[in-house]
Every structure is written in C-alpha cells, then in structure tokens.
A and B are shown apart, each in its own frame.
Chain A
Amino acid sequence: MKSTTNRPAATSLKVLTPSEARILEAIAGRIFPATETPGAVETGAVNYIDQALAGDYGHFRSLYRNGLRAVDRHGREKFARKFADLSDVEKDTVLTDFESGQAQGFKNAADFFETVRCHVLEGVFCEPHYGGNRDLIGWRLVGFPGQQYGYPDAYINKLVDLEPVATVEPPLEKK
C-alpha cells in the first residue's frame, strides 16, 4: 500500500453543510471501513459525493438532506447521541435499520441507504478527477491497475505488476 494518509475527507464543501458532511463521513466509514488498510473516508468518498451532488447527482440533493437528518435523528432516538459519536456497533445498528427500511419516520430509508452505499463505493473506486479514490487507494486495495492504455500480457494466474495509473491523456494517439 503506497498511501495510508488519513486526511479529512471533505476539505471544501460545495453542497453539504459541515454537519451533514460529518454524518455522511460517519456513514461512509461503516460502509467501507478503515481496517489495517484505508477505507472510504481516507479515499475521499465524502468529497466525491459532495462534488457529484453539485453536478450530475443534483437530483439526489433532497434525498441526502432528508436522509442524513433522518440517520442522525434515528441515532439520537435509539442511543441518545449524535450519529457521528456512536460506537461502530451502534452505527451499524442504525444503518441496518435504514437498509431494511425499518427506521421509523423516514419513508425512503431503504432507498436512501442503497443510494449512499452505492455512492460511497463509487467514491472509493472512481477515476480520481471525480474527487474520490485519493492516491488511487481504492484501485490499489483491490488490485486494479487503473486506466492502463492496454495490457501487453494476459496475466493468466499472475499478479499484475503495473503501477496503477489515472490518465486524462488525449484518447487516441495520432499516427
């Protein structure tokens, strides 16, 4: 693992408020947690989602606003503390209630959870110019060498020993 930086995920927020970002960061940290290797927070998944909400995912803004508030509220009702301050086990209990749609008082609970789960993982594995996958951590974790121009070898039952790349080069080489 080349990089194990542990910087805060969202440095300059475009759409989320700081308190929303804290809740989202706490969720991201359970969806794809840091273990002996970095997780979603360290790869910048929150930043990815914030950038997406400012653009292509603008239509998800109200779902996030309401969903993040509902997660926090559900955490307070169940454990009498802010969601971000809960233990890992407590956070997982809250998130499981959302995943199964059993969280009271928010009819889009399951839909919200599935949306966030999907977006957090996108943030881990995206091309880095979308704001996540910092230092290509997501790709390194799973063994994906990135946007390689091509593969000279089929690597059948061999580890791919190429340094991962993210590329924005002009697509076609001119002859």
Chain B
Amino acid sequence: MTTAGLVADVCIVGVGATGSILAKELASAGLKVVGLERGPAPRLEDYAVRDSVKFIARPEQLDWVKHEPTTSRAKIGQAAQLRYRTSPLNVLGGALLHWTGQVSRYMPSDFKLYTNEIQSGNAERAGADLTGYDIIDWPLTYDDLEPHYEKFEWEFGVSGKAGMNPFAGPRKRGYPLPPLRHSAKMELFAEACQKLGYHPYETPAGILSQPYRPPTPFDTRIAERAACVYCGHCNFYGCHVHAKAAALYTTIPVAVETGNFDLKTGCKVFRIDTDGSGKATGVRYFDPDGRPQEQRARVVILCAFVFESVRLLLMSKPDDGSFANGLANSSGYVGRNILAHGDVRAMGLFDDFIVNGFIGPGSAAMRIDDFNGNNFEHTGLGFIRGGTIGTSGDGAPITRMDVVPPDIPTWGKAYKEYFTRYYTRTFDLNMQPETLPHKANRVDLDPRHRDRWGIPLPRVTFDFHENEHRLQKFMAGVGEKIMRATGANKVWTERKAAPNRWAGGTRMGADPKNSIVNEYCQTHDVPNLFIVGASVFPTMSGYPPTATVAALSYRTAEYILRQKQWFA
C-alpha cells in the first residue's frame, strides 16, 4: 500500500450534488480539498444525447450504473436479489445528471414529525397504526435551513413563482427565474384543481426558464447557462443544453478553478481510518488501476448517498476494537430507518384533447399540496401524513409504451390501435406519499454478494408498512378524483408502489443514542467525520429530497469553516 504523504484539510467521498457543493465552498475558502469519486467523469457525448434506448430501456448497461448494484429484499429472512438502479449514480456530478429537477423546499412542519404528529395527539385522532415505526424530530428547523435553500436556488437557478403555494414556508427572496412555459398537462390539471377548490401552483424547477448566471451576492463564478428548449428528454437523461441544474457545469468547475480542489475520479473508497483517540485520519481507496491507496485528511466527509455511506461506516471497524459495529455506530442505528417514496399514479386519456405529453421538461409541472404533510384533516382517516400531487407523464414512446389501461391488452391489434391513438392524448398525475421511518427497513452488508473490488454489496431490506398502505390508497383516490375533473374520457390508477428517492440510514437527531449525526451532519461519535446527503433525513417529506440535501450541504460547509482551529 502506498501512502500519499500530504494531509488534506478535507477529504470528500463522493462528488455529486452534496460533495460538489461542499468542495466549492470549502476550496473557495482556501482549504485544501481532495474529492474521491468512484465513477467516471462523463463526457458530453456520453450523457447529453436524447437516446431513449440508452437511458430508458437499458439504464442498467450504463457505465455509471452497472458497477454499483445493491441487493434488495422486502423482509428480513429473505434472500436478497441483485438490483441495478439508476440511483445511486456512480458518476461525477451524481444524480443531478439525470434528475427531473423538482426543487421544493420542505415545509416547516416536515421537520417536526414527533412533535406535530405523535406528541400533539394527531396520530391518535387519525386512528393511525404506528406499530414498528421509529419517528423522531429533526434537530433543526425550516428557519435554520431557509438561507441555505435560498443560496441553492440562486446558485443552481430555479424557475418558479413565490406566493402561489399557500402551504409553503416563508421565504426572504423569490425565485431567480419565472416559471417554465405551461404545457397542456399543467393547464388541464390547474383547471381541474381550481374546480375542486385546491391550490395549484407551478412546481419550482431546477431548469432554467431563461438564460441565467447567478448575480451577487451569490456565486458569480458559476458560468451562464442557456434556457430550456422543452425537448422533453429530461428525466433520466443528461441535458443537452445545460438548462437543467447539474453539478457538472455549476459547482464542479468552480471548485476545480480555485486550485484547491484535487478531484480524482475512478477512485473507490473502501475504508475510513481512525486513530487511537477516536478521530478520523483519512480514507483508503482503490485507484483507477485497482491499487489500494491512502488519503489522509483532517476532516472526512461522506457524500456517497444512502447505500454507500452506510456501507462505508459498516466496513470501517478500527483494529483496536472500538466501533465493533461500524464507525460512528455506537448507537447501533447506522443503516436503520431507511426511507423511500412509494409513488402511485392516476392516468387519464382524452378523446378530444391533444396533450403532447412528450413536450418537456418533466419538472414543468403543476402541483398541489392540499394533501401533503398535515395540510388536511386526518381525524379518522387511519393514517398520518400525506403527499404532494403533480402532473407527470412525459417521455418518448419507449417510456410510455407500457402505460396501458386495464381493459386494453398489452399487445396485438387492440394494443396498437390504443397506443397509436392515445400516445399524444394521455398524461399522468403522480402522487408522492411520504413514507415513515420503520424499524424493519435498513441497509446492511450483504453476506453473499460482492462487487468488482471484492467489497460486500449494500443489502437493502425495505417494505411499505401499514401507514404507507393506507396513505398510498388514499392518495391514489385523490389523484383519480382530480384526473376525472380534467375531463379525461378514461381514468385508471396504478396503486402498486415501488420504492424510489431513497433517504435515511444515518439519521440526524438530538440524541446520540438513537441517531448518527447532529444538525451539522457531524457524527456524534467522531467529531471530524461528517455525512452529508439524504441519508441524514430522520423523516422524509412528500417532496423530493434534492433542495433539502443541497441546503444541508451549504449549512455544513459554513459550520466546518467556522472550526478554524481544525485547520490551523
């Protein structure tokens, strides 16, 4: 094993959304930062092609997907099967390469589930069955994150209109860009929601509605980017005009230009080292040639997404016998309480209205939060929480070819007649119901499967439980009602939820006995080890995690920069 002589100020493991924000902020302040990214640096011609076979039909063949499978099972005791997912992406820039671009801030109430739902008696009034759930509050508030949400929105460029969503938290500044152009889906949905007395608004989108460069007081080093051209190849694709907010052409080049950021791709970290005093001393990784290397650092930050951050902690057991259950795991909570949305859909098709749902982008969407969080009366409903509801259903024919009403066969003449007539005349409503932290849902090390470096794969054990089942059913019903109100000639729902948008596993909390990190994403056990990403979420909202993950990154960077004595 070779030893890199230099001790970096900060070593970042994983250079995606969170890692790139931290790299930019810390390197800009003069710290010497090393970034180790397991994936490749994708070239424009690798990702910015509107190719539905490559990105929709065969994503498991992508270079940045195929080397990092997880194993997956619903319940403890079952054998886990290999799964190749597009998320996490092991690629420079991470999931911001292929995301849709929904950037909602969490609502203030999303951070206090224990207080608002359990302690307040809401759960009891609702008649919810919370057996097996493990709900705690976040150790911070919406107000703590507000300035960091703002910074994210103005540095990456978000299109939206403040004041339209009555359920949103207060904000000091509007969005940098006006909303994206309305699509037919948005018009149909907005009209239906208004008819029903709901409150539709344009989803804040991480897609530029106009050419944009961040103004002062934000980071003006970020280059100007072009406006969206509405090509519709958005969700799962890289953006060919760079209108979609991505780390590759915002935070990463700025971090590199500081001269303080040593970015190494193709480097797979497999262990975090510690010394006798219980502090992290650096990491070990395989370089692109598969040789083990060492990187020493004063601060180590895991930005490696839910599965990998958990896996690294569980694999890093110091030789001196401390942390026998894995690093920073004195609580035994590493890997526990993982979360994922269980989306359900309502589909509609129209005989006399042409929707052209393929015209994008996916995040040019209309949304309501009337059934999100605790925004509606739950008494007697049998569950707590809710979800956000919005328009969806974009995509090339390969994306849509399996969206078939239950009374139409999936092949043959009738299928052909259906799809050729209705491909342009259909869209979906997507309901994103919140999932609660459950003790049975966890990530650990797979005892059987290993990756190409010989490291045990992360094994995901995840299922939806009683609160999710009831909530998902309710949300599907609401979606169906709204879709009927659009005037669709046929409406059907897809109620079988598959988990996506993962979170949890190294949750933050005030109590070191049942959480891994504090409000600054600093591990309770190892003061110079941080974990930044959706894995720190103790609970999830109905919204996607990206805006909150980014805000936490900016906040953690600020905290680290205040610890001047660490780098003296």
Residues of A within 8 A of B (CB): 30-33, 35, 37, 39, 56-57, 92, 95, 99, 117-118, 121-122, 124-127, 130, 138-139, 141-145, 147-151, 154-160, 167-168, 170-173
In order of increasing CB-CB distance, the 5 nearest A-B pairs are A150-B229, A171-B48, A142-B423, A125-B397, A147-B50
B104 at the interface (CB under 8 A from A): no
The residue from A122, A148, A157, A171 contacting B184, defined by CB atoms under 8 A apart:
A157
B359 close to A154 (CB less than 8 A): yes
Instruction: Give the docked Cα–Cα distance between A13 and B401 (Å).
Output: 26
A127 close to B411 (CB less than 8 A): no
Question: Chain A interface mostly helix, strand, loop or mixed?
Answer: loop
B354 close to A155 (CB less than 8 A): yes
Instruction: Give the docked Cα–Cα distance between A99 and B409 (Å).
Output: 11
Residues from chain A with a CB closer than 8 A to the CB of B184 are 154-157
The residue from B58, B355, B412, B419 contacting A30, defined by CB atoms under 8 A apart:
B412
Residues from chain B with a CB closer than 8 A to the CB of A154 are 181-184, 230, 356, 359
A171 close to B49 (CB less than 8 A): yes
Instruction: Give the docked Cα–Cα distance between A35 and B390 (Å).
Output: 37
Residues from chain B with a CB closer than 8 A to the CB of A37 are 420
B412 close to A172 (CB less than 8 A): no
Residues from chain B with a CB closer than 8 A to the CB of A32 are 411, 415-416
A171 close to B401 (CB less than 8 A): no
B451 at the interface (CB under 8 A from A): no
Residues from chain B with a CB closer than 8 A to the CB of A150 are 228-231, 241
Task: Please give me the residue from chain B that is nearest to A140 by CB atom.
Answer: B420
Q: How far is the CB of B395 from chain A (nearest CB, A)?
A: 10
B291 at the interface (CB under 8 A from A): no
Given contacts A130-B53, A154-B184, contact A147 B233 (CB under 8 A): yes
Instruction: Give the docked Cα–Cα distance between A154 and B179 (Å).
Output: 14
Q: Can you give 6 contacting A-B residue pairs, CB < 8 Å?
A: A35-B413, A122-B398, A141-B420, A156-B182, A172-B48, A172-B241
Residue picked from A57, A124, A148, most chain B C-beta under 10 Å: A148
A-contact 0/1 string along B48-88, CB 8 Å cutoff: 11111100011001000000000000000000000000000
The number of residues on chain B lying at the interface, defined by a beta carbon within 8 Å of a beta carbon of chain A, is 47
Residues from chain B with a CB closer than 8 A to the CB of A172 are 44, 48, 240-242
Instruction: Give the docked Cα–Cα distance between A142 and B417 (Å).
Output: 10
- A125-B401, A126-B57, A150-B229 known, 13 other contacts, Cβ within 8 Å: A33-B413, A56-B58, A99-B411, A121-B398, A125-B398, A144-B424, A145-B358, A149-B240, A151-B231, A151-B232, A154-B184, A157-B184, A158-B354
Residues from chain B with a CB closer than 8 A to the CB of A127 are 51-53
Residues from chain B with a CB closer than 8 A to the CB of A138 are 397
B45 at the interface (CB under 8 A from A): yes
Instruction: Give the docked Cα–Cα distance between A154 and B231 (Å).
Output: 10
Task: Please give me the residue from chain B that is nearest to A126 by CB atom.
Answer: B53
Instruction: Give the docked Cα–Cα distance between A139 and B396 (Å).
Output: 9
Residues from chain B with a CB closer than 8 A to the CB of A167 are 50
The residue from A57, A121, A147, A159 contacting B401, defined by CB atoms under 8 A apart:
A121
Residues from chain B with a CB closer than 8 A to the CB of A157 are 184, 353-355
B377 at the interface (CB under 8 A from A): no
Task: Please give me the residue from chain A that is nearest to B43 by CB atom.
Answer: A171
B423 close to A155 (CB less than 8 A): no
Task: Please give me the residue from chain A that is nearest to B230 by CB atom.
Answer: A151
B187 at the interface (CB under 8 A from A): yes
Question: Chain B interface mostly helix, strand, loop or mixed?
Answer: loop
B410 at the interface (CB under 8 A from A): yes
Instruction: Give the docked Cα–Cα distance between A23 and B419 (Å).
Output: 25
Residues of B within 8 A of A (CB): 44-45, 48-53, 57-58, 61, 181-184, 187, 228-233, 240-242, 353-356, 358-359, 396-398, 401-402, 410-413, 415-417, 419-420, 423-424
Residues from chain B with a CB closer than 8 A to the CB of A126 are 52-53, 57, 398
Instruction: Give the docked Cα–Cα distance between A148 and B241 (Å).
Output: 12
Residues from chain A with a CB closer than 8 A to the CB of B51 are 127, 147
B50 close to A151 (CB less than 8 A): no
Residues from chain A with a CB closer than 8 A to the CB of B402 are 118
Task: Please give me the residue from chain B that is nearest to A173 by CB atom.
Answer: B241
Task: Please give me the residue from chain A that is nearest to B423 by CB atom.
Answer: A142
The residue from B230, B410, B419 contacting A142, defined by CB atoms under 8 A apart:
B419
Q: How far is the CB of B210 from chain A (nearest CB, A)?
A: 14
Task: Please give me the residue from chain A that is nearest to B187 by CB atom.
Answer: A156
B45 close to A170 (CB less than 8 A): yes
Residues from chain B with a CB closer than 8 A to the CB of A148 are 231-232
B358 close to A144 (CB less than 8 A): yes
Instruction: Give the docked Cα–Cα distance between A98 and B230 (Å).
Output: 41
Residues from chain A with a CB closer than 8 A to the CB of B420 are 37, 141-143
Residues from chain A with a CB closer than 8 A to the CB of B359 are 151, 154-155, 160
Task: Please give me the residue from chain B that is nearest to A99 by CB atom.
Answer: B411
Residue picked from A130, A159, A171, most chain B C-beta under 10 Å: A171
Residues from chain B with a CB closer than 8 A to the CB of A99 are 411
B61 close to A149 (CB less than 8 A): no
A144 close to B396 (CB less than 8 A): yes
Residues from chain A with a CB closer than 8 A to the CB of B419 are 142
Task: Please give me the residue from chain A that is nearest to B181 by CB atom.
Answer: A154
A33 close to B416 (CB less than 8 A): yes
Residues from chain B with a CB closer than 8 A to the CB of A95 are 411
Instruction: Give the docked Cα–Cα distance between A99 and B125 (Å).
Output: 47
Instruction: Give the docked Cα–Cα distance between A150 and B401 (Å).
Output: 22
Instruction: Give the docked Cα–Cα distance between A172 and B241 (Å).
Output: 6
Instruction: Give the docked Cα–Cα distance between A152 and B410 (Å).
Output: 34
Q: How far is the CB of A169 from chain B (nearest CB, A)?
A: 9
Instruction: Give the docked Cα–Cα distance between A126 and B355 (Å).
Output: 22
Residues from chain A with a CB closer than 8 A to the CB of B57 are 122, 126
Instruction: Give the docked Cα–Cα distance between A37 and B421 (Å).
Output: 13
Instruction: Give the docked Cα–Cα distance between A154 and B233 (Å).
Output: 15
A171 close to B240 (CB less than 8 A): yes
Instruction: Give the docked Cα–Cα distance between A148 and B230 (Å).
Output: 9
Residue picked from B51, B181, B187, most chain A C-beta under 10 Å: B51
